[in-house]
Amino acid sequence: MFIYKNLELQTLEIDNKKDKNVFFVHGVTADYSNFNDFYPELSKEYNIYSINLPCHGDSQCNPELMNINSYIDILYQYILSLKLNNIYLIGHSMGGAIAMVLSAKIEPLIKKMILIAPLNETSMEIQKQLKYAFEAKTLLAKLAFVKRSYYHPLKMLFNKQINQNTKEWFIKHKDDLPYYRNLGNSMLDYDFLAQTRVAIEEFNKPLALIYGVGDDIINRLKIKAYFQSVQPNIQVFEVPKCGHNLWYENKAEAVKVVLDFLEK
């Protein structure tokens, strides 16, 4: 547990007695359990750390901290408290954008960084579609969200485990939905996304961009060219047969791509 401004935040600290540390940053509405598929393989060579940000997982909720700047500061303070170095920073979706800005604050501590389907400046071009898919409560909006999220949307629409997880999330967080809208507005902010670009331009460590070929939560048609223009040294991996949460549909390939980049 980590205490930030009197708020109790749930943490993941898997000490495998290694000299390398993977740190995961989760996406919006997710938590560090979303990366469970990676932990068994990573535990062979790395210690693993993460934190559930306010209103995520079992972390407490404070409306005043439901914004990107607070999230970045929480991660910064938590990492400093751990006294980590040799950090392999991995951010997914919103967590990818956060990781970019965070990297500018802790770059001497970082060995490599992986951005998995990260929020970025090209996301502004599809913000209306994203807000509709995430916020509208109609059946059509749900279908739009599923279609954007998965390579096999019809198959995933009837996935019992995913539907159960979604139902449980809404029951748990129904009173927090207005705060998530505020978080969404702070994410899709021109000034914040400009910060992510500057951070990547100046990042001097090995960097990877990974995304699924069926992912339309990101601006998939432009994301590769955008990141290559901002940081020519970035390595880009397009993973087949999967969407925004790559490991939901193609676990083996998603885990392999991450491990291969970390270890080479």
Sign for the pseudo-dihedral over CA of 182, 183, 188, 189:
positive
136 pLDDT higher than 70: no
Residue 144 has pLDDT above 90, yes or no: no
95 touches 51 (CB < 8 A): no
d(CA 62, CA 224): 36
**Residue for token digits 């579609």?**
129
Confidence of residue 181 (pLDDT cuts 50, 70, 90): confident
| Residue-level pLDDT at 214 | 96
Measure the CA–CA gap between 154 and 42, rounded to whole angstroms: 31
Averaged pLDDT score across all residues of the chain: 93
Specify the fold of 2-263.
Rossmann fold (3.40.50)
CA distance 157 to 81: 41
Distances (CA, A) of 130 to 77, 99, 115, 123, 185: 30, 21, 19, 9, 11
Averaged over 39-52, what is the pLDDT? 98
Average pLDDT over residues 159-181: 83
Nearest Cα neighbor of 144 from 157, 155, 125, 160 is 157
Domain range list for the chain: 2-263
Bridge partners of 92, per DSSP, are 116
Contact of 124 with 145, CB cutoff 8 Å: no
Mean pLDDT throughout 96-109? 97
β pairing state of 11-14 and 110-116:
unpaired
> What is the pLDDT, as a whole number, of residue 24?
99
* Residues with Cβ within 8 Å of residue 83, at least 6 apart in sequence: none
Which pLDDT band holds residue 173 (cuts at 50, 70, 90)? Answer: confident
- Reported confidence tier of residue 137, pLDDT bands at 50, 70, 90: low
Residue 139 has pLDDT above 70, yes or no: no
Q: What region, left, alpha or beta, does residue 241 occupy, with left being phi > 0 and alpha being psi -120 to 50 degrees?
A: left
Please give the residue that has the higher pLDDT: either 76 or 183.
Answer: 76
Considering only 11-15, 42-46, 141-145, 223-227, which range has the smallest mean pLDDT?
A: 141-145
User: What value does the mean pLDDT take over residues 102-118?
Assistant: 98
Is the pLDDT reported for residue 65 higher than 70? yes
Kindly state the tokens that stand for 145. 């969200």
Residues 1, 6: Cα–Cα separation, whole Å: 12
